[in-house]
Amino acid sequence: MDILSLIKRYRVQLSLLLICLASLTLFYPSLNYYFFQDDWLHFNISRAENVNDILNFFKFRQDIIGWRPIPKQVFFFLIQTIFKMSPVVAHLVIFGLIASFLYSTAAFHFISLSWISAGENIIGAFFFIAATYFFYLFFDRKKFVFYVLSNLFFIMSLSSTEFAMTWPLFITFIWLILKPKVLFKKYLTIFKYMIPSILLIIVYLILRFIIFPLPARADYRITVDFQIFNTLSWYILWLFNLPEVLKYNFLLSSLSFTKDPTFIEPFQQYKTSLLILVSIAILSLSIFLLTNFRKILLLATLAISTFIISLFPVLFLPTHTFPYYLSIPSVSIFIFFSYLIAKSLKKSSSYLLPTVLFLASWFLASFLTLSFTKKTHWVTGEENISRQTVKLAKSKHPALPRNSTILLYPSTEMIKQALMDQNALKAIYDDPTLRTSYVDNTNNIKKEEDSIYILKIDPVH
């Protein structure tokens, strides 16, 4: 068998391999990022000594914002009990859940892959897509076991992210792509089988917003006004691989950059190339849209509607917007792009050039954005602070007696945040009685008793 025959025979496997390699090329540094900030809190609230403790993971808590027991308590419990707090294993589990080229090379995954606590977005998206797959398989193969699996994965997705609430809408979108000529009567049958998940979503909303309301915090304050258009604009821009930090340094109203030197100076070497690449990607995509406009108008409308409605859990929170919230909403858009390109290529080989231009510019834009982000994002700084501080603490004090205090100096708010205040050292030493004290200079150090262990930390840049 010649090379061409082998490639043709194993084209799907080779495509998946290339997708994984492309994604790994962009995100491999994230596999080495250490635990920091919320990670330490989740280690401490995810300890269990018996089955009852594990069941308590699924209780609604009012001291934390989200109800995400699977990617939070269950996941962190497994990481610390089975894998001995290995950050590499934790990152690999999340990293391996990404599938398609556009999805796996999107720059908005940076935080989800670099910060274990944000991995809920990819874990939830995996269960979300798995639920969709088995739901479709149930109708295709007529086997009830697939329906059971679909509902099980949906429950797991809802237990991972509130974005799972949009699943019934996503099912409708997928069905229109896969079965565009299905009669309305068939859609009623489909809807009938979605009723359990819809009822579960209603129960979830009642529990989350009425019986166990979210804790009152300013950045989670719902705002219903014209700000949603500004918020939506940023999610669209992030979807096309532009850096997160542009939100704070680019004014959409005047289309101008701020004069903040901490942003302008490092961004200067990326700005022109990045804008050119994103423009090429959008123009290439426009060719597919314009030449197929009439045929895909309904599908495009549904894809955009699915995207916008999927963002509802965060669209009305103008002070709490982050690219990683695109993990589920982006799926409908990427499927639409893929469908549009595949249909066009099937119709004519003349679409090959815009396809290559779109995919190449997409990948390179993501590469540049990630290069810039890794140099400037707070995630990189905080994981480094956390790693160095924990390493220093364990090297100088391999073990500590109960009720001890570790005093860190010279300390800053960033160090305190990276260690999540009291949580990091409690988790590392597996001691809930351990106390961490932060002081900014030696004048504030008081040696009160022998149980205080002073740890001088070097400045981390």
Tokens of 384: 């480094």
pLDDT tens digits for range 288-333: 999 888 888 888 888 899 899 999 888 888 888 899 999 999 988 9
Whole-angstrom Cα distance, residue 119 to residue 365?
23
pLDDT value at 1 more than 60: no
Of the listed ranges 44-53, 63-72, 123-132, 348-357, the least confidently predicted one is: 63-72
Euclidean distance between CA atoms 327 and 93, whole angstroms: 16
Place of tokens 């949906």: 154
Q: Does the pLDDT of residue 43 top 80, yes or no?
A: no
Binned at pLDDT 50, 70 and 90, residue 242 comes out as very high
Do residues 109 and 98 make contact, with C-beta atoms less than 8 angstroms apart? yes
Confidence of residue 57 (pLDDT cuts 50, 70, 90): confident
The DSSP string of 246-286 is HHHHEETTTTEE---HHHHHHHHHHHHHHHHHHHHHHHHHH
Full-model pTM: 0.80
Check residue 353 and give its pLDDT: 92
Q: How far apart are CA 197 and CA 155, in angstroms?
A: 8
Burial grade of 300 (CB within 10 A; 0-12, 13-18, 19 or more): middle
The per-residue pLDDT for 181 is 67
Long-range CB contacts for residues 133-139, cutoff 8 Å, separation at least 24: 135/171, 135/193, 136/174, 136/175, 136/178, 138/193, 139/190
Q: Per-residue pLDDT tens for 323-363?
A: 999 999 998 898 888 888 888 888 888 888 999 999 999 99
pLDDT value at residue 121: 86
- As given in the structure block, the two tokens for residue 402 are 């109960």
| Lowest-pLDDT range of 63-67, 137-141, 219-223, 452-456 | 63-67
The pLDDT of 214-235, averaged and rounded, is 78
- Asked whether the predicted pLDDT for residue 460 surpasses 60, the reply is no
In this predicted model, which residue has the larger pLDDT, 405 or 80? 405
Token pair listed for 11? 């084209």
> How confident is the model at residue 146, as a pLDDT?
92
Q: Which residues lie closer than 8 Å to 371 by C-beta, 6 or more apart?
A: 270
Burial class (CB in 10 A: 0-12, 13-18, 19+), 228: middle
CB-based burial of residue 261 (10 Å sphere; 0-12 exposed, 13-18 middle, 19+ buried)? Answer: exposed
CB 101 within 8 A of CB 19: yes
Locus of tokens 């950045």: 219
What pLDDT shows up at residue 448? Answer: 44
- Cα–Cα distance measured from residue 69 to residue 412, given in angstroms and rounded to the nearest whole number: 31
Closest residue by Cα to residue 84 from 430, 435, 436, 432: 430
Could you tell me which residue, 66 or 252, shows the higher pLDDT? 252
User: Which has more pLDDT, 86 or 268?
Assistant: 268
Best CA proximity match to 241, nearest among 303, 334, 309, 311:
334
Tell me the pLDDT tens digit for each residue of 419-457. Answer: 988 999 999 999 999 999 888 876 766 654 455 777 777
pLDDT tens sequence across 374-429: 888 888 889 999 999 999 998 988 998 888 888 888 888 899 999 988 999 999 99
Number of other residues whose CB lies within 10 A of the CB of residue 158:
24
Secondary structure of residue 382 in the 3-state scheme: helix
For residue 95, name the pLDDT band (cuts at 50, 70, 90): very low
Helix (H, G, I), strand (E, B) or coil at 390: helix
DSSP string, 133-163: HHHHHHHHH--HHHHHHHHHHHHHHHTT-GG
b/e 400-438 (16+ beta carbons within 10 angstroms → b)? beeebbbbbbebeeebbbbbbebbbbbbbbebeebebbb
Using a 10 angstrom Cβ sphere, with 0-12 exposed, 13-18 middle and 19 or more buried, the burial of residue 47 is: middle
* Structure tokens that stand for 239 in this block: 């979807």
